[in-house]
Amino acid sequence: MKDAFGLPQSLLVLGGTSEIALATARRLIARRTRTVWLAGRPSPALDAAAGELRGLGAEVRTVAFDALDPDSHEAALGKVFAEGDIDLVLLAFGILGDQAHDEREPAGAVRVAQTNYTGAVSAGLVSARALQAQGHGSLVVLSSVAGERARRANFIYGSSKAGLDAFAQGLGDALHGTGVHVMVVRPGFVRSRMTAGLDEAPLATTPEAVAAAVELGLRRRSETVWVPGALRVVMSALRHLPRGVFRRLPV
Amino acid sequence: MSADTVPVTGWGRTAPTTARLVRPRSYAEAVAAVRDCGARGGIPRGLGRAYGDAAQNAGGSVLDMTALDRVHAIDVEGGTVLCDAGISLHTLMRLLLPLGWFVPVTPGTRYVTVGGAIGADIHGKNHHVSGSFSRHVVSLELLTADGEVRVVPRGTELFDATTGGMGLTGVILTATVRLQPVETSLMLVDTERAGDLDDLMARLAATDHRYRYSVAWIDLLARGAATGRAVLTRGDHAPLDALPRRARRDPLAFRASRLPAAPSYVPEGLLSRTTVGLFNELWYRKAPRARAGRLQSIPAFFHPLDGVPHWNRIYGRSGFVQYQFVVGHGQEDALRRIVRRIAERRCPSFLAVLKRFGEADPGWLSFPVPGWTLALDIPAGLPGLGPFLDGLDEEVAAAGGRVYLAKDSRLRPELLAAMYPRLDDFRALRAELDPRGVFTSDLSRRLEL
């Protein structure tokens, strides 16, 4: 069960090697979390992540999960929920893709869309139903500011996150009053493996900062969290720029 | 029997979860409700005054017992009442005072049920004299997980597991309770100020035994030499000859007026260090340095907050946390350290009270033990509050103390066994009496009770 501050005792991470997710898990284990499920494709990285979290004192198990195989989600996640209540589901999987390459090779772009959007829709709905049955829990969805307004430089990724973001907002409204809380987290540029080698955007942040924002959002039962918070104002301004101006911005 | 799926919280309005709220109107309906609980079980609920998640059950059933609120028999000579457990102490007072009887123990609110009073084994300002509520319960009828109704007399294991058992042994249907005789419905109250914590403890230790009721409001925002300054209010039921002539005509009249309810929306942060600091300063200054023999009504003396319905809304949508612990006699240093830490942390708390407990009662999870208990309210949105309270828990546990489950919404489960040595007995009895875990609450899930 979550405590008065929204801190979970059990955590399911979808995308068990995500740096943001692991930073969040570390933070939550330091507080109340005792049981962690890391869902992801079986890999040495997934096992290493589990080992690291075990070292912090949590009981950690891994479960095979592939975002690109929605047909398997019901079974894979059903197994987790059958073992006991999950207080927090952190939907953290996603790929950035390679915009230039994917524009030439649409199959790559489809893979981005299928992972970030289709996979998340499936896993999100499966999780939401399980949370609803237990009458409590939070679903935290890692979206991105890139979904707020698609940019020339990464609109394939951005559009997939835009779809995910809209889906998660709608899901949150659908679950309002059921005891299940959906929180959309929109980080800006996060310094991580995913963005290694890319030029840093203004207001860049870290996985640890996102983790701190998630903890605060859980306490406040927020529905939308921007990381850093200033991005809310910045993106609100960018959203309202005319296309012709936005296109010429060096972002 | 109505049933709605609704969000449920405790009085602190933190951590809402959704449950099927069932309201049985007869014992037969209560039995049916327990039998129909389903995989996620059920938990009885009274008037929802437990601060945390004790009367919530996510995804399962919550049995609202307040429709079962009849009085079956009053022994006017001997002073006992046999009533349904869903009756409130308010209703009992209204019925019993004109007959010259008062409830044996009342907490800071009249709006708790007899079932809740037994389940949480509540205490009041008279604990040092009268013990907790269960001491005055002669026997009770318990609807257990198998759907049977058992008579549970005091002195049995099931009685001791049920008093303080947070509703996890079954649904209390009726109780026979011994009452306190009174000549009037007024209180004769002495008020005095204590300049700091040591002064306060000295006064309580030296003269508490002269009073049936005793409690101290403590200013936890005062720092330095004034740390722990307090206002003591102590008293007893006024005898008939203490009343002015006019009041003697109707000495047992019970009137409880209520103000309009707190609004349903209150902005976050209304209770800040500034506003609470100001309130505490005024409250301390307005109290007389020493005044004896003032007449006060029962609501004014015992239940001042009941005057404002829904007062818990003033903390805004984040709600609030009540923290109450007890440390034994001889652990005064731990109490001093904790009070200093709270004062230095500047927790905006205006409902903080310190009391000296008397002898403990045998309930396995009953909270009171002889010693010092401090209760305070803190807005849940206060940054860093979780780790701060975790630190206080460590201090309390190290001093052999415990926190109160009826108020808890955030205890680290690992500390529970150290705080409640009979926890294993409680778990074992539950495993035998309720092997399928029909009686389950968010509290029992969170703390693995």
Mapping DSSP onto H, E and C, the string for B396-412 reads HHHCCCEECCCCCCCCC
> Structurally, how many domains does chain B consist of?
2
Q: Work out the pLDDT band at A43, boundaries 50, 70, 90.
A: very high
Residue A175 lies in a domain: yes
Residue B232 lies in a domain: yes
B381 interfaces chain A, CB cutoff of 8 Å: yes
Helix or strand run (H / E) with residue B90: helix B89-96
Residue A206 lies in a domain: yes
A7 interfaces chain B, CB cutoff of 8 Å: yes
- The closest CB to that of A3, out of B15, B59, B319, belongs to B15
Nearest-neighbour CA in chain B from A206: distance (Å) = 21
Mark whether B295 and B165 lie in a shared domain. Answer: no
Secondary structure (DSSP) of A83-103 = TS--SEEEE-------HHHHH
Q: In angstroms, rounded to a whole number, what is the distance separating the alpha carbons of residues B33 and B339?
A: 45
pLDDT, position B335: 98
The yes-or-no verdict on residue A251 having pLDDT over 80 is no
Mark whether B174 and B208 lie in a shared domain. Answer: no
B410 interfaces chain A, CB cutoff of 8 Å: yes
Residue B120 lies in a domain: yes
* Residue B28 near residue B36, CB atoms below 8 Å: no
Helix or strand run (H / E) with residue B191: strand B186-194
- The closest CB to that of A5, out of B380, B445, B446, belongs to B380
Mark whether B365 and B291 lie in a shared domain. Answer: yes
pLDDT, position A51: 98
Domain residue limits at A34: 10-248
Mark whether B175 and B201 lie in a shared domain. Answer: no
A134 interfaces chain B, CB cutoff of 8 Å: yes
Interchain contact, B17 vs A31, CB within 8 Å: no
Give tens-digit pLDDT for A95-139. Answer: 999 999 999 999 999 999 999 999 999 999 999 999 999 999 999
pLDDT, position B273: 87
Q: In angstroms, rounded to a whole number, what is the distance separating the alpha carbons of residues A24 and A21?
A: 5
Interchain contact, A1 vs B16, CB within 8 Å: no
Mark whether B294 and B396 lie in a shared domain. Answer: yes
pLDDT, position A250: 79
The secondary structure of A114-181, three-state, reads: HHHHHHHHHHHHHHHHHHHHHCCEEEEEECCHHHCCCCHHHHHHHHHHHHHHHHHHHHHHHHCCCCEE
The residue from B152, B182, B212 where one domain ends is B182
Mark whether B266 and B283 lie in a shared domain. Answer: yes
Helix or strand run (H / E) with residue A212: helix A207-220
* Residue B47 near residue B111, CB atoms below 8 Å: yes
Hey, what amino acid is at B55?
A
Q: Which residue of A has its CA nearest to B442?
A: A1
Contact residues, B window 315-334, toward A, CB-based 8 Å cutoff: 317-319, 321
Taking CB atoms and an 8 Å cut-off, how many pairs form between chains A and B?
70
Mark whether B76 and B127 lie in a shared domain. Answer: yes
Token pair belonging to B270: 């209304």
* Residue B232 near residue B192, CB atoms below 8 Å: yes
* Residue B112 near residue B105, CB atoms below 8 Å: no
Residue A82 lies in a domain: yes
Residue B336 lies in a domain: yes
pLDDT, position B269: 78
Residue A1 lies in a domain: no
Q: In angstroms, rounded to a whole number, what is the distance separating the alpha carbons of residues A207 and A184?
A: 16
- Determine the residue among B411, B446, B447 to mutate to test chain A binding: the one whose Cβ has the most chain A Cβ atoms within 10 Å: B446
Alpha helices by DSSP H, B324-403: 332-345, 385-398
Q: In angstroms, rounded to a whole number, what is the distance separating the alpha carbons of residues B366 and A194?
A: 53
Residue B216 lies in a domain: yes
CATH number at residue A91: 3.40.50.720
Nearest-neighbour CA in chain A from B413: distance (Å) = 9
Asked if the bond preceding A228 is cis, omega within 30° of 0, the reply is: yes
Mark whether B142 and B231 lie in a shared domain. Answer: no
Mark whether B224 and B351 lie in a shared domain. Answer: yes
The yes-or-no verdict on residue A151 having pLDDT over 80 is yes
* Residue B106 near residue B303, CB atoms below 8 Å: yes
Interchain contact, A177 vs B58, CB within 8 Å: no
* Residue B440 near residue B57, CB atoms below 8 Å: yes
- The closest CB to that of B59, out of A4, A136, A220, belongs to A136
Mark whether B220 and B258 lie in a shared domain. Answer: yes
Contact residues, A window 170-199, toward B, CB-based 8 Å cutoff: 177-180
Residue A88 phi/psi, 5-degree rounding, is -145, 125
CATH number at residue B108: 3.30.465.10
Q: Taking CB atoms and an 8 Å cutoff, what residues of chain A touch B444?
A: none
Interchain contact, A135 vs B445, CB within 8 Å: no
Length of chain B: 449
Q: In angstroms, rounded to a whole number, what is the distance separating the alpha carbons of residues B58 and B6?
A: 10
Residue B208 lies in a domain: yes
CATH number at residue B198: 3.40.462
Interchain contact, A4 vs B387, CB within 8 Å: no
Mark whether B209 and B150 lie in a shared domain. Answer: no
> Structurally, how many domains does chain A consist of?
1
- The closest CB to that of A5, out of B40, B410, B442, belongs to B410
Q: Which residue of A has its CA nearest to B445?
A: A1
Domain residue limits at B175: 71-182
pLDDT, position B428: 98
Interchain contact, A135 vs B17, CB within 8 Å: yes
Q: Taking CB atoms and an 8 Å cutoff, what residues of chain B touch A212?
A: none
Mark whether B101 and B148 lie in a shared domain. Answer: yes
Active site residues of A: 157
Residue B356 lies in a domain: yes
Interchain contact, A5 vs B40, CB within 8 Å: no
B21 interfaces chain A, CB cutoff of 8 Å: no
Query: pLDDT tens digits, chain B, 449 residues: what are they?
Result: 777 899 999 999 999 999 999 999 999 999 999 999 999 999 999 999 999 999 999 999 999 999 999 999 999 999 999 999 999 999 999 999 999 999 999 999 999 999 999 999 999 999 999 999 999 999 999 999 999 999 999 999 999 999 999 999 999 999 999 999 999 999 999 999 999 999 999 999 999 999 999 999 999 999 999 999 999 999 999 999 999 999 899 999 998 888 888 888 888 878 888 899 889 998 899 999 999 999 999 999 999 999 999 999 999 888 999 999 999 999 999 999 999 999 999 989 988 999 999 999 999 999 999 999 999 999 999 999 999 999 999 999 999 999 999 999 999 999 999 999 999 999 999 999 999 999 999 999 999 99
- Report the SS3 class of residue B374: strand
Neighbours of B83 (CB within 10 A): 23
